Amino acid sequence: MRIDGKVAVVTGAAVGTGRAIAQRLAADGADVVLADIDEAGLAQTADSIGAAARRVHLDLCDDDALAELMACRPQILVNNAGGGAVLRPCFPEADVDRWTASLELNLRAPMLATQLALDGMRAAGGGAIINLGSTAGVGFGPHVSPEYSASKAALIRLTATLGCLQESHNVRVNCVVPDWVATERGLAEQAALPEAERGPELVPLETLTSAVVRFVEDETLAGRAMLLDRGKDPELIAS
């Protein structure tokens, strides 16, 4: 699937991975719709892209606002928005509203965005949906934020189950699963650690954006997850 000339929605586009993904898709010719609750960050991302960008200020947990966003009928949807892994306290110490909010942002919002995008994509002849998971959702070890890791694990599994949409809707759903990424915040957090605790270099932003582009363009890939581990080559881990 060609990116050039397509409408692409990128959620969480104000900073970090979302900004980098939006910039990459715009550079490859997409008309990018930037969505985030951070209005100032959205303006900065839009300014960095130029005329190919349109920004929408919204809370992704607001169902009506999300429906209005998806009315642009994108052919590309990147469910990048998420977070909460560093918030304290976490489950089980966190109260119900707090851990529920994490599940809503990291799992329910991309599920609803996907559902809302499908009819428009099918009418346009097809589309590509890319979810942003996390290595926090891989494996069976402990994690400081059980609600975050559980939501990301569910998003990866959801992606695999939606491989069937390629046949029914000509829509391919895939998932990029990065470790710690070299965003401005990621690099600052790594630098703040004692040198002995820093570990391998963070996942380059170019590696992440290239994974997104591959999932858009490669029509043989559906229901797959690509693991981007620190210090390792990208690896397709699910089918």
pLDDT tens-place string over residues 2-24? 999 999 999 999 999 999 999 99
Tokens of 76: 């590309």
pLDDT digits (tens, 9 = 90+) for 135-168: 999 999 888 889 999 999 999 999 999 999 999 9
Give the β-pairing of 76-79 and 53-57.
unpaired
SS3 of the chain: helix, strand, coil, percent, to 5: 45, 20, 35
234 near 227, Cβ under 8 Å?
yes
Mean pLDDT across the stretch 188-215?
90
1 near 216, Cβ under 8 Å?
yes
Q: So which residues are the catalytic ones?
A: 148
- Measured in whole angstroms, the distance separating CA 232 from the mean position of its chain's CA atoms is 20
148 near 172, Cβ under 8 Å?
no
What residue ranges define each of the domains in the chain, with the CATH number in brackets?
A: 7-238 (3.40.50.720)
Strand partners, 53: 32
Tell me, what amino acid is at 77?
L
Strand partners, 141: none
Mean pLDDT across the stretch 126-134?
97
Question: How far is CA 229 from each of CA 55, 136, 169, 199, 237, rounded to the nearest angstrom?
Answer: 31, 11, 31, 12, 11
pTM higher than the cut 0.85: yes
Q: Band of the pLDDT at 133, cuts 50, 70, 90?
A: very high
Distance CA(128)–CA(139), nearest Å, equals 27
Give the β-pairing of 31-36 and 53-57.
parallel
Distance CA(131)–CA(172), nearest Å, equals 11
Tokens of 236: 């397709």
Strand spans (E) along the chain: 7-11, 31-36, 53-57, 76-79, 127-132, 171-178, 225-228, 235-238
pLDDT of residue 84: 72
Distance CA(134)–CA(147), nearest Å, equals 13
| Maximal C-alpha separation, the chain | 53
